[in-house]
Amino acid sequence: MSAGKYSEERLMSILLAPQVSEKATYVADKHEQVIFRVVPDATKPEIKAAVEMLFKVNVAGVQIAVVKGKQKRFGRFMGRRKDWKKAYVCLAPGQEINFATGEQG
């Protein structure tokens, strides 16, 4: 595991939440990937180390996407939601993270 080079505090704060949606479920079933919402300054090696440390699974790879915030209107004023980053974490064959029951491995 590659969690040795990063502080445990930093790794605990990298993952914000699992992204639960219809698309995320489809990706999880088809490509053996899990989608997480992560802090905006997270790097691929940090995300990999954080997932391996927290869920005790082997990570094969990490892909990152920055989701642009939507334009929203509040009465006559235009506003904008914040941009956020999500990580597609590809697990090694045979590995699984099940958020419904809390089981890993």
Fold of 3-92: Alpha-Beta Plaits (3.30.70)
Does the pLDDT of residue 104 top 70, yes or no?
Answer: no
What residues have CB less than 8 Å from 38, skipping those under 6 apart? 14, 15, 16, 47, 64, 85, 86, 87
pLDDT in tens, 19-71: 999 999 898 888 889 999 999 999 999 999 999 999 999 999 999 999 999 99
Structure-block tokens of residue 96: 């699984």
The model's pTM is: 0.84
